[in-house]
Chains A and B, each alone.
Chain A
């Protein structure tokens, strides 16, 4: 029996050798053919890409404004605009509007734009259009209809100018604010800042709203903090965060229950990070659950985990921008120039922009946030009058109803 088995195994091995040899023999030419096909395909793709690139380059050459061809120039205040003779009148009218608006927004900062703005005619996809923009911003402007009036052209320039001027601000301040809010803010933006702040479950923000200016500075990340855990959040905030965490993680776990890992569905993370992430979330859930159960130390640990993830000041970038907007308003026409030329910490640059000490800027900002006109909660006079007129009209219509049925 063992001999027979050995003989059989030997027979099998021999047969396998033949099968493998045949497979290799058959696959080799096939692989070679596939490689040939792939090479041909790659060659075709490359040649098509080259053709497309040359068409794109030709189109780009056609579309790029050649400022040399814009022989006419218009001067309005600090603005110098290049244009074509046929568009001179429109460019001049628009330049005056844009110059006045930009002077009101950034004062002397308008000088930084001198000679970069243009207005020209262009043909896009066979349609004649106007193009207003700046040679400094990739040379591509905003497409406008041929019928665009001076206000539309001025608006396009102002938008381009604010983007260009925003790019001139660098350093920590840029990271802190994201972008520079050069244009004036309407009431709805301030209201939205107030919405966010008054509902934020953050102790230090509540202190700021209540009138503590030092708290505002800390919440904005303008002054350092020794212990964010106790200085930014109180016990109620920590408990609220724990409740929220428990709810979110339970929902998350329920949503990914069918996956191999409760907290890390296969679509969300790869196998190497899955275990780490799973463990981190389980730990977080355990601390949050104990915190909700009344363990104060668990609340503290949970919050320290959160602060390890992000130790940024509790107020977000929109709020930072609102402070910068307030500083620009306080600083008057030259505020933008001062901001662009300033150096130092974020707090120092904001004070330099406003031309007053940081405390005064923050105090004024807090007042603006809290007092800017409320949203449309109060019914406006137009709605009151029109509604009463409609009610009277309906009543009068009813008076005219027939007594005969």
Chain B
């Protein structure tokens, strides 16, 4: 049954997976190319590499989000009737959907690794700098998995629950903005953000240095 679910899920996800794979392959090469050009123009090589850091984390988050939404799209379209007709427990069905989607993350991850390795073996890396293709790929994989699992859980919930979660996030963002605008001094927002983004927070993997080449 897992194979069948994977096959149907693949049909709806393949376009996205292909796009994600191309994107993941392109980022390391594009960042290296830019950094080499910047260096030739008298700029800072590492600064250029660092400016691409955000592209990795955004790509990981985007891939996780898109795959999670596509994983549930056939069920949402069919109003979950197909799942009800299957002779399997709900949790097993969800587990298979979760596993199938997680499997597709392997393609962009592999593309990123190959591309990062290509860059790592380039002779144009300035002496004294090191490439971290494996470390970057591990970080990318974990970030994509966290984003996928998070959005999979949100999408698996009822529309009402998803609405509540999104409302909470929106209210938090608005409150942070208003507090800053009104010059209200409170540590609540800082602590909440730290709780989310600092280890062992939910999104801690997205922070830190996403550097393919570093000193």
> A residues near B, CB below 8 A?
191, 194-195, 197-199, 201, 206, 209-210, 240-241, 243-244, 247, 370, 374-380, 382-392, 394-395, 397-403, 405
* Contacts A377-B132, A380-B199 given; does A243 touch B41 at CB 8 Å: yes
Chain B 104-139, CB within 8 Å of chain A: the 1/0 string? 000000000000000000000011111010011011
Interface size on B, residues (CB 8 A): 48
Decide if B100 is an interface residue (CB 8 Å cutoff): no
Q: A398, B94: Cβ atoms under 8 Å?
A: yes
* Contacts A398-B153, A401-B90 given; does A209 touch B128 at CB 8 Å: yes
Docked pose: A197 CA to B45 CA in angstroms? 12
How many residue pairs, one in A and one in B, have C-beta atoms under 8 Å apart? Answer: 135
Docked pose: A210 CA to B127 CA in angstroms? 7
Docked pose: A201 CA to B150 CA in angstroms? 45
Docked pose: A241 CA to B90 CA in angstroms? 66
Q: A379, B215: Cβ atoms under 8 Å?
A: no
A240 surroundings in chain B (CB, below 8 A)? 40-42
* Contacts A194-B128, A379-B138, A394-B153 given; does A387 touch B205 at CB 8 Å: yes
* Contacts A390-B202, A399-B94 given; does A199 touch B149 at CB 8 Å: no
B204 surroundings in chain A (CB, below 8 A)? 383, 386-387
Instruction: Report A295 CB to chain B, min CB distance, Å.
Output: 18
Chain B 22-55, CB within 8 Å of chain A: the 1/0 string? 0000000000000000001110111000000000
Other 16 A-B pairs with CB < 8 A, given A209-B128, A402-B158: A198-B126, A198-B128, A198-B215, A199-B215, A370-B128, A377-B214, A383-B205, A384-B138, A386-B200, A391-B146, A395-B153, A398-B153, A399-B91, A403-B83, A403-B84, A405-B79
Can you give 30 contacting A-B residue pairs, CB < 8 Å? A191-B215, A194-B128, A195-B46, A197-B128, A198-B128, A206-B127, A209-B128, A244-B42, A247-B41, A370-B128, A374-B130, A374-B132, A377-B132, A377-B209, A377-B211, A378-B132, A379-B135, A379-B138, A383-B142, A383-B200, A386-B204, A388-B142, A390-B149, A394-B146, A395-B153, A398-B149, A399-B94, A400-B91, A403-B80, A403-B84
Q: A198, B41: Cβ atoms under 8 Å?
A: no
B91 surroundings in chain A (CB, below 8 A)? 399-400
A401 surroundings in chain B (CB, below 8 A)? 90, 94, 153, 156-158
Q: B153, A382: Cβ atoms under 8 Å?
A: no
A383 surroundings in chain B (CB, below 8 A)? 142, 199-200, 204-205, 208
A391 surroundings in chain B (CB, below 8 A)? 142, 145-146, 148-150
Q: Which residue of B lies closest to A206 (CB)?
A: B127
Docked pose: A388 CA to B141 CA in angstroms? 11
Q: B127, A198: Cβ atoms under 8 Å?
A: yes
